[in-house]
Amino acid sequence: MKTATIVPREVTQAKLDHRARAGQRHRASQTYTMAERIEESALRFAERPCILYGEEHHDYAETNRRINQVAHAAHELGVRCGDVVALCMENRPAFVFGWLGLAKLGATVVFLNTNVSGKPLAHALQATGATLAVVGEECLGLFAATELPAGMRCWLWPDAERPAAAELRERCALNLEQAASEAASSNPPAEWRANLVAGDPALYIFTSGTTGLPKAAVISHARWLITGDVMEATMGVQAQDRFYCFLPLYHGAASLSAGSTALASGASVLLRRKFSRSEFWSDVRRHQVTICQYVGEICRFLLTVPPQQDDRDHPLRKMVGAGLAPEVWEQWVRRFGDFEIYEGWGSTESNTNTINVDNRVGSCGRVPFWEKTNLRLVRYDIDSDSHPRDENGFMQLCEVGEVGEGIGMIIDIPDVVGGRFEGYTSAEATEKKILRNVFRQGDAWWSSGDLLRIDADGYCWFVDRIGDTFRWNSENVSTTEVADALGDFQGLEAITVYGVKVPGAEGRAGMAALVLQPGAVFDPAAFWALALERLPRYAAPLFLRLAPTTDMTGNYKLRKVDLQREGYDASVVSDPLYVRDDKARTYLPLAEAALAQRARA
């Protein structure tokens, strides 16, 4: 990798200060909420395109009218300010109409994962206290396969693209789309949301981790507004810009970042139900997309498509997201041209974050001057799963280059939203994310659970999740670094790395679940050669699993909690399993390796 020219700290800080000023426009007590932003944008950008979906085009004025119809219909049906209403729908304009129509009433909307049913879905409804759900016809099967909480009502929103069986439709009490089509399209009276302030909850968004049951993060109206204003300032978004939104709207990345930023700036959003590798660039060109939100896996997927003559012939120039490995970043720019890439670090519920405003390859942000941020890195001991403390009982700051946990000081000043930790619907879950008496008695800090390091120039580098880093042969192994090192293996679609217990051995051994591209044939010797060339022996995966694509999450990851639980137990894992054999210089099928070992014995 070529040596990057280091941007002066003052230049970076000026950009970050511009972001900070945008984030200070809103207060918790203000009565300007999401509803006011929607109506203001409808006036400012009335005839500009707002939502694009296939052949559908809705300008800002039309979008506001459709939102208003949902608000009027829902109010007529009894929804009131402060009610909690769940929404389960794939990416399509109806999601936006339903969500923002409920927001205009002051209802708190629960975004449900469109890939889960049974216990996870029931948990989501119970954890948020929702007693009403607006369900897209495409998701009715999920509800039919779930034992719903007592008293749960469902309202249908039809889907001509994915119609459901009549008996599933009949489970819903009414057709909300039909009711909305007959309702008034004027802005609903502001008194319908009387006493609502920006500090009140607007959304419950479930954390999208790959382990355990997700928690419902609380997102206030102010947080949503601030996100849009800050990202507009950060990327210089203008009304002429177009976002490409294929990440699920039920995740914060899409609904908070792309959705709120577009409404703040008058930009348009191209919605797609799901990511399509084959249609990505044709969508970008046909709809003149200028900004794309990514997760790192998406970029790697697109690089697996054979090079084309028109690879650099496109309008896409800005990208924002997380998880873009340095190797993938460099390959992306070499192939598709120059981009402004805003790689960031944070989470849906975080009270601090970083973002790369300097286009520094691989970095997730920069801290030019520590006194300007509430972020700190503290030492963390993987073996004891604890933070070492000094002789006074306080945590210790990391040195330059040292890996530690990112934490954010919780700012508790009346009316100030920045630095708040809005927490989860569960008070217990909220408390578990707070570290106390960190640097002095009585202070409180949000615990990210992420390991970062910062170099001598103040650039931040994501290392791993705390629960994902494991210890093997007395060495710490970062699952993220292993995945990044092996992610460009020929024919590989996705890789998920995790640690598994081995009887009689301390720590955990590395295991990788590999998803191959359609038609690809796995070459175990080639994978062994790549792993041992790029990684220390202790970090090269000991076990492999060739996994199907059916268990991918909305963020295109396999669920580690399931993979770790099943390990390499052939009695519960039907997928092909391999074990590393360094003498044979390959990975052997697990059964063959066991036979070979017995033969040698």
In this predicted model, what pLDDT tens digit does every residue of 59-76 receive, in sequence order?
A: 999 999 999 999 999 999
Res 470 pLDDT > 90 = no
- 552 vs 560: CA distance, rounded Å: 10
Q: Which pLDDT score is estimated for 552?
A: 53
Res 2 pLDDT > 60 = no
Residue 341, strand partner residues: 319
Q: Which pLDDT score is estimated for 549?
A: 67
Please state which of the ranges 176-180, 209-213, 254-258, 370-374 shows the lowest mean pLDDT: 209-213
Spatial CA neighbour of 146 closest among 128, 159, 133, 160: 133
What percentage of the chain reaches a pLDDT higher than 70? 95
- 383 vs 59: CA distance, rounded Å: 55
Q: Which pLDDT score is estimated for 550?
A: 46
Residue 413 sits at the vertex; the CA angle it makes with 410 and 414, to the nearest 5 degrees, is 135
Q: Which pLDDT score is estimated for 553?
A: 56
Torsion from C-alpha of 8, 265, 251, 158, nearest 10 degrees: -160
Spatial CA neighbour of 280 closest among 329, 255, 316, 252: 316
Structure letter (DSSP) for residue 3: P
Mean pLDDT, residues 328-347: 96
Side chain identity at 533, as an amino acid letter?
Answer: E
- 158 vs 97: CA distance, rounded Å: 13
Helix (H, G, I), strand (E, B) or coil at 448: strand
Q: Classify 468-600 by CATH class.
A: alpha beta
- List all residues 6 or more positions away from 460 whose beta carbon is below 8 Å from its beta carbon: 345, 354, 363, 364, 365, 366, 367, 452, 453, 454
Mean pLDDT of all residues belonging to the chain: 92
Over residues 492-532, the pLDDT tens digits come to: 988 999 999 898 888 889 999 999 988 899 999 999 999 99
Model confidence at 320, pLDDT cuts 50, 70, 90, reads very high
Rg (CA), the chain: 25
* pLDDT winner (highest mean) among 303-307, 323-327, 382-386, 408-412: 408-412
Res 221 pLDDT > 80 = yes
Mean pLDDT, residues 289-304: 90
What percentage of the chain reaches a pLDDT higher than 90? 80
Q: Judge whether 131 and 106 are in contact, CB under 8 Å.
A: no
Q: Which pLDDT score is estimated for 383?
A: 79
Q: Which pLDDT score is estimated for 208?
A: 57
Structure letter (DSSP) for residue 410: P
Structure letter (DSSP) for residue 191: G
Other Cβ atoms less than 10 A from the Cβ of 515: the count is 20
Res 469 pLDDT > 50 = yes
The alpha carbon dihedral of 554, 530, 564, 430 has a sign of negative
Q: Which pLDDT score is estimated for 25?
A: 93
Assigned token pair, 404: 């530690």
pTM for the predicted model, two decimal places: 0.88
Q: Which pLDDT score is estimated for 253?
A: 85
Over residues 233-281, the pLDDT tens digits come to: 999 999 999 999 999 999 888 998 899 999 999 999 999 999 999 999 9
Mean pLDDT, residues 116-136: 94
Res 596 pLDDT > 70 = no
Spatial CA neighbour of 514 closest among 538, 534, 537, 490: 490
* pLDDT winner (highest mean) among 43-47, 488-492, 516-520, 591-595: 43-47
Mean pLDDT, residues 344-368: 96
Angle between helices 479-486 and 524-534 (to 10 degrees): 120
